Amino acid sequence: MTDRRDGACGAEIIDGKAFAAGLRQRIGREVARLKAEHGITPGLAVVLVGEDPASQVYVRNKGRQTREAGMKSEEIRLPATATQEEVLAVVDRLNADPAINGILVQLPLPAQVDELAVIDRIDPDKDVDGFHVVNVGRRMVGMRALVPCTPLGCMMLLRDRLGQDLSGQKALVVGRSNIVGKPMAQLLLDANCTVTIAHSRTRDLPGECARADILVAAVGRPNFIQGEWIKPGATVIDVGINRIDAGAGKTRLVGDVDFESACRLAGAITPVPGGVGPMTIACLLANTLTATCYQAGLPAPDLD
């Protein structure tokens, strides 16, 4: 992790890009070992329905990084007009394919396809997104489960900065989505943090932020969390990736936290881009490796 103290920014900048690169290397080594010792090559299938440009970029990057880690990558593309039955038929085929250990259906799906029904059809042991109710339930009661990639990446960055023991830290998660907010809160709770979840109906968001040692922002609103709200020295994890107009026909990526002002009070903060974003795909590869090991009756890989 880099400690870059420049200009008015007194906070440590948490370098997710560098951490993710190191994690991918460790995954690559474990994949090579799995091949050499057990003759197994993990396989990840990604299903993309429609032509959403952002999703296409994600899916391309996932495929490339999967192959770079020594895993098999399969991409299945369906037209935006695909029916629910067609998507479910693809999931059924991948569930039954022994060469595929992980299945990810890129979200969002077109309106005619029921997202929850598609997730429900994925074999929970191949659910590398950790979105299936079986994995959500297993996680909640403390059983072995596949964990959603973005929250998993956030926890790795937090532990790298704060140490393995997060006991007693006051954590605030802003946002309550199934993909980030809710699983993030569960992982922080599992780590013995005292967890608050804030959302659009929360009464005093600045007051909640002021009490948080750890602040995770996942609301999808550009620069929404103001720097003055942050507790001095807090660790700030910004999950937001928002594209805004930068004038002169250009756009720029910003997070959910107003980075400039947050830098003055936070102890450490993830930048956008280069913070949480790169961790998501690296954790997808980690989950694919973990799922492959579990399916083969092997222990989870040590990626520390």
Q: How far is CA 235 from CA 116, 121, 269, in A?
A: 33, 37, 6
Cα separation of the two ends of the chain: 14
| Residue 127 near ligand GUN by CB under 6 A | no
279 sits near ligand GUN (criterion: CB under 6 A) = no
| Neighbouring residues of 166: CB distance < 8 A, sequence distance ≥ 6 | 158, 159, 188, 191, 192, 193, 214
Rank residues 105 and 214 by Cβ distance to ligand GUN and give the closer one.
105
Q: Which stretch binds ligand GUN (CB under 6 A): 78-86, 102-110, 258-266, 268-276?
A: 102-110
Phi/psi at 290 (5° precision) = -60, -45
The least CB distance from residue 272 to ligand GUN, in Å, is 15
Q: Least Å distance between CB 174 and ligand GUN? A: 17
- Distance in angstroms (rounded) separating the CA atoms of residues 52 and 168: 42
Spell 266-279 as b/e; 16+ CB within 10 A means b.
bbbbbbbebbbbbb
In the structure encoding, which two tokens stand for residue 232, read together?
A: 């001095």
Q: Are residues 236 and 266 in contact, defined by beta-carbon separation less than 8 angstroms? A: yes
Does position 292 interact with ligand GUN (CB under 6 A)? The reply is: no
Q: Is 97 a catalytic residue?
A: no
Active-site residue, selected from the candidate residues 65, 106, 169, 186: 106
Q: Does the annotation count 129 as an active-site position?
A: yes
Q: What minimum distance in Å lies between the beta carbon of 105 and ligand GUN?
A: 6
- Min dist. Cβ of residue 49 to ligand GUN (A): 11
62 is catalytic: yes
Select the residue interacting with ligand GUN from 31, 34, 149, 154 (CB under 6 A): 149
Least spacing, CB of residue 26 vs ligand GUN, in Å: 21
d(CA 286, CA 269): 24
Q: Does 113 bind ligand GUN (CB under 6 A)?
A: no
Alpha-carbon distance of 264 to 272, in angstroms, equals 16
Q: Which of 132, 142, 153, 187 is nearest to 27 (CA)?
A: 153
Which part of the chain contacts ligand GUN (CB under 6 A), choosing from 99-107, 181-189, 229-237, 270-278? 99-107
The residue at minimum Cβ distance from ligand GUN is 107
Residues that bind ligand GUN (CB under 6 A): 104-107, 129, 149-150, 179, 280
Q: Which residues are catalytic?
A: 62, 106, 129
